[in-house]
């Protein structure tokens, strides 16, 4: 257990649950029996295929269930078009309509927060400092903030003009300040700003308070840090 038996979210003493840092629903998605995909662990520049995502004792059962509801909504909305979600695309963009902004934003806040508080080596490059406490309180109060707070953008990645939902990576961090953390979940690259107020993501691409999220379609190899990642991990 981590920090005795104190839940890292509600700060109450309780029996802790083994929490997935990367949502279990995403792990299940890439473990489709028809796909030869597994989570690739990046640790000390070594590649290791594992059957489950990284996890550790962080949360009490109530907080685990709270975050789990956001995870469930995320996977059902973005990958299975449930909840009256409409997904359209052209040659340049994927467009998701009828999204619940609060639920999706709280999912990404919880993901960034868990990666930052984690003691696991997979997430040692994720450190949001004092923003950990700010985001913790937002999650507890279920306050998503507006689109300029800890902003999120998404890019649909293409391999030979197709999206590969079986792709998952560990987190990358930009060298800019404030830092931007990037992670691929189910074939989509998400970038999350660690800044309380965003100033550099294009406003039209932000996860926002409307019911629409616009995601550019980009070839995987056109993104340098992803090209380096795939070359290192899949072509050895």
Is 120 within the bounds of a domain?
yes
Is 10 within the bounds of a domain?
no
Confidence (pTM) = 0.87
Is 8 within the bounds of a domain?
no
Domain count for the chain: 1
Q: Exposure string (b/e) for 136-152, b if CB count within 10 Å is 16 or more?
A: bebbeeeebbebbbbbb
Task: Please state at what angle helix 101-117 crosses helix 61-80, rounded to 10 degrees.
Answer: 120
> pLDDT by residue for the chain (236 residues), tens digit each?
344 589 999 999 999 998 989 888 887 777 655 544 444 443 444 445 545 678 899 999 999 999 999 999 999 999 888 998 988 888 899 999 999 999 999 999 999 999 999 999 889 999 999 999 999 999 999 999 999 999 999 999 998 888 888 778 888 998 776 789 999 998 899 999 988 776 678 999 999 999 899 999 999 989 988 888 777 766 54
Per DSSP, the three-state class of 92 is coil
Is 48 within the bounds of a domain?
yes
Domain containing residue 87: 16-234
Is 9 within the bounds of a domain?
no
Is 11 within the bounds of a domain?
no
* Distance set, CA 45 to CA 115, 116, 172, 226 (Å): 19, 20, 13, 15
Is 3 within the bounds of a domain?
no
Per DSSP, the three-state class of 129 is coil
Q: Report the chain's terminal Cα–Cα distance, integer Å.
A: 36
């Amino acid at each position: 257990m981590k920090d005795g038996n104190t839940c890292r979210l509600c700060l109450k003493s309780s029996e802790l649950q083994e929490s997935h840092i990367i949502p279990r629903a995403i792990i299940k998605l890439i473990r489709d029996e028809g796909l030869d995909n597994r989570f690739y662990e990046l640790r000390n520049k070594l590649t290791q295929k594992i059957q489950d995502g990284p996890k550790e004792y962080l949360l009490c059962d109530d907080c685990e269930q709270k975050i789990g509801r956001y995870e469930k909504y995320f996977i059902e909305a973005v990958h299975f078009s449930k909840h009256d979600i409409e997904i359209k695309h052209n040659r340049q963009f994927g467009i998701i309509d009828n999204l619940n902004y609060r639920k999706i934003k709280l999912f990404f806040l919880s993901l960034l927060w868990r990666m930052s508080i984690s003691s696991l080596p997979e997430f040692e490059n994720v450190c949001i400092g004092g923003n950990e406490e700010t985001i913790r309180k937002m999650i507890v109060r279920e306050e998503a903030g507006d689109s300029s707070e800890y902003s999120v953008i998404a890019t649909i990645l293409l391999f030979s003009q197709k999206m590969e939902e079986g792709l998952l990576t560990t987190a990358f961090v930009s060298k800019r300040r404030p830092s931007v953390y990037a992670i691929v979940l189910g074939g989509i690259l998400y970038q999350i700003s660690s800044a309380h107020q965003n100033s550099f993501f294009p406003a039209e691409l932000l996860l926002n308070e409307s019911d629409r999220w616009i995601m550019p379609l980009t070839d995987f190899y056109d993104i340098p840090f992803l090209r380096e990642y795939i070359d290192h991990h899949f072509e050895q």
